Amino acid sequence: MRLRQLWPDSLFGRTALTLGLAFIVFQSLAIALVSFTILTPLAQRSADDLAALIVLSAQTWVELPPETRPAFEQELRLHHNLRLSKVDDIIDTPANRFLNSRNIEAALSQRTRQNIILESGDADWVWADMRMGGHFIRVGFEKTRYNVRAPLAAVGLVSLGALLIWITALIVVRRITHTLAQLSAAAAQVGQGKMPQPLPEHGARELVTLAQAFNQMANEVQELLANRTTLLAGISHDLRTPIARMRLAVAMLPEVTDPKLIEQIERDLVQMNQLIADFLDMARGLNSEAHHSCDVVSILQSLVDDAKRGGGNVSLNAPAVCEAIIAPHALQRIVTNLIQNAVRYGQPHPVEVRCAPSASGIEIQVLDQGPGIPEDQLELVFRPFFRLESSRNIATGGSGLGLAIARQLAQAHGWQLNLAAREGGGLVATLRI
C-alpha cells in the first residue's frame, strides 16, 4: 500500500520512474558485466605481472655478488620504480587497503609460496617482505603505480551514457505527455459544457491526427448542445401554450364540477409544468454564471427558511458569516435541490444543513435520516432520468433530473458534489466550493 502511494499518478511521472528504474538495473548489470569480464581479469593480470617482476628482482639480487647489488638496486629504482633492500626481520603490519592490493598479495604468495602481507612504510610506498635465498628482502613500489581508477572510469562511463539516454527519453516522453495533458484538460472542459481552446495541430503525425479529431469532436459536441437547447426551448414553448389553455379551461369550469377532480387536474398541470422546467434546466444548466463575493451563510439561511415555510423540518449549522466568491444563483439551485430531496425522503426526521470553511474552500453538507441510497447507486443517481423509485410517480420519485442538474451546475463552476451514506442511517450530500 505504501509503495502504491509513492507511485506517481501522472503519466510523465510513471514513465520517468519506470525508465529510471530500468536504467538503474541496466547500469548495475553493465557494471557487473564489465567488472567480471574486463576489469577483474585485467587487475589480476596486472598484479601477477608486478609480482613476477618483484620476485625476479629479489632472486636476481640474491644471486648477484654483494658489490654489484647497490648498482642493481639503483637500476630497479630508475627503470622500474622499485626499491629493494635487505632487512633483518619480516614485519607483518598490514598496509592500508588500496585498489588491487589483495590481488598483489595473492600473486606474491603464490609465486613465493609464502604468506605475503603488504606493509605501509610511509604514505606513498607499499612494501612486501619475503625470504629469498636465506635473506630477508624488502621490495617496495609506489601506490601511484595503481592510481589508475579503471572501475571508477567504467562506472562513470556507463552512468553518463545511461543518464544521457534517460534524459533524451524523458524529453521525448514529455512532448507526448504534454499533448495528452492538454487533451485531458480540454476533455474535462467539454464534459463541463465549455468550449476549450483548439488543440495545437503540429508535431508527430499521430498526435496531429488526434488533435484534429478532438477539435472536430469538440465542435460537434457544442453544436449538439446548442441544438438540444434550441429543441427543448421550442418544445417547452409548444407544450406550455396548451398547458396555459388547460389551466384557463379548468378555471372556467362550472362550480358544480367536483372540487377533487379540479384539484387533481391542477396538480397534474403543475407537475407537467415543473417537468418542462426541469428539461429546460437540464439543457441550460451548463451555462456559466459570473462569480462575485457573497455571504454563503445568508444564502443558506434563506433557503432553509423557504424549506421551513414549505413544511420541512430543516435547521442550519454554520458560522455567522462566510464570505466567498461564488455564483449565487447556481449555489441556490444546487442546495435547494439537495434540501428538497432530503425533506422528501427524510421526513418526518429533521434535516440539517452545515456550512464550514475547509482547507480548499467551503464545504456545505445536507444531512438527512431517510432510507439512504445503496452504495453501488451513489453515482448512478446523478445520471439524467435515473430514479431509485420504480414507479413513475413524480410526487414520490421526482423527475430524475434534479441531481443531474445539480452535478452539472457544480462541475460548470469547478465545484464538487458527492453523496455518501450517513453513519446511523440516512444520506450526506456534500458540496465543496
Which of 54-68, 118-132, 357-371, 388-402 has the lowest average pLDDT?
A: 388-402
The pLDDT tens digits of the residues spanning 224-259 come to 877 877 777 777 777 778 888 888 888 887 777 788
Give the type of residue at 97: R
* Sequence-ordered list of residues with C-beta below 8 angstroms from that of 245, at least 6 positions apart, any chain: none
Q: Strand ranges (DSSP E) for 199-336?
A: 292-295, 314-317, 323-326
Which of 343-352, 383-392, 410-419 has the lowest average pLDDT?
A: 383-392
**Architecture category of domain 8-151 in CATH:** 2-Layer Sandwich (3.30)
Q: Between the ranges 224-238, 285-299, 329-343, where is the mean pLDDT highest?
A: 329-343
Give the type of residue at 62: V
Give the type of residue at 43: A
Q: Is the pLDDT of residue 1 over 50?
A: no
Domain boundaries, the chain: 8-151, 193-284, 292-432
Beta bridge partners of 31: none
Give the type of residue at 170: L
Predicted confidence at residue 367, as pLDDT, reads: 93
Q: Is the pLDDT of residue 375 over 80?
A: yes
Query: Are the C-beta atoms of residues 416 and 429 closer than 8 Å to each other?
Result: no
The values of phi and psi at residue 66, to 5°, are -55, -35
Query: Are the C-beta atoms of residues 353 and 304 closer than 8 Å to each other?
Result: yes
Which of 154-158, 294-298, 386-390 has the lowest average pLDDT?
A: 386-390
Which of 12-16, 90-94, 173-177 has the lowest average pLDDT?
A: 90-94
Cell, residue 267:
396538480
d(CA 77, CA 69): 12
CATH topology assigned to domain 292-432: Heat Shock Protein 90 (3.30.565)
Nearest Cα to Cα of residue 140 among 223, 210, 83? 83
- β-pair type (118-120, 427-432): unpaired
The pLDDT tens digits of the residues spanning 123-152 come to 678 888 888 877 888 888 887 776 556 667
Q: Is the pLDDT of residue 364 over 90?
A: yes
Rounded average pLDDT over 159-174: 82
Predicted confidence at residue 391, as pLDDT, reads: 43
Q: Between the ranges 2-6, 269-273, 345-349, where is the mean pLDDT highest?
A: 345-349
Predicted confidence at residue 333, as pLDDT, reads: 87
193-284 placed in CATH 3.90.25.10: no
d(CA 273, CA 244): 9
Give the type of residue at 154: A
Query: Are the C-beta atoms of residues 419 and 369 closer than 8 Å to each other?
Result: no
